[in-house]
Amino acid sequence: MNNFLELDLDHFVRSPAFEVGGHKWYVQMYPCGKRYSTDCLSLYLYLDASDELHLESKKVVVMTVSILDRKNGIHFTRTSGLLVFTGGHGWGWANFLELKKLKDPSGGYVVESSCVVKADLTIIGLSNDS
């Protein structure tokens, strides 16, 4: 994420789509929080709605999302439990990481106004439950 410190407070940033398990995904980040979490970075993972996922089939996933520390190598990571994704819907954390910690110059989360988000997905299977 380039120009992180200059991003608009009221908007989100969407990553380019990437492919895992034959399906397209993307990360959506609210650099200054979403709704009531304005003192935290908000991060969400979405199954791209343009993906050709059958409507009756849903992906069961475990996700791990990290903000990489490029100075000290101590990344901030959160892991979900089992999640069920359908096209266009996402899961994540409104309070992923406190902005104070994210922007702390002694940490390496924001370097030269950019931060790196890493998303690891484990696709457990499909769910046909409604």
| DSSP assignment of 48-97 | -TTS---TT-EEEEEEEEEE--TTT---EEEE---EEE-TT-EEEEEEEE
Strand partners, 125: 60
pLDDT of residue 106: 87
Strand partners, 30: 42
Residue 117 lies in a domain: yes
Task: For residue 121, give the CATH number of its domain.
Answer: 2.60.210.10
Give tens-digit pLDDT for 32-71: 788 777 889 999 998 887 655 544 567 888 999 999 999 9
Binning pLDDT at 50, 70 and 90, where does residue 76 land?
Answer: very high
| Residue count (the chain) | 130
Residue 130 lies in a domain: no
Give me the domain span that covers residue 35: 4-125
Three-state DSSP class for 4? helix
Mean pLDDT over each residue of the chain, to the nearest integer: 82
Tokens 């397209």 found at = 24
Residue 29 lies in a domain: yes
| Number of compact structural domains in the chain | 1
Q: Give the pair of three-digit tokens for residue 6.
A: 């200059």
What is residue 7's DSSP assignment?
A: S
Residue 55 lies in a domain: yes
pLDDT of residue 27: 92
Q: Please provide the DSSP assignment of 9-59 as one string.
A: TT--EEPPPEEETTEEEEEEEETT-STT-TTEEEEEEEE-TTS---TT-EE
Give tens-digit pLDDT for 106-127: 888 988 888 899 999 998 887 7
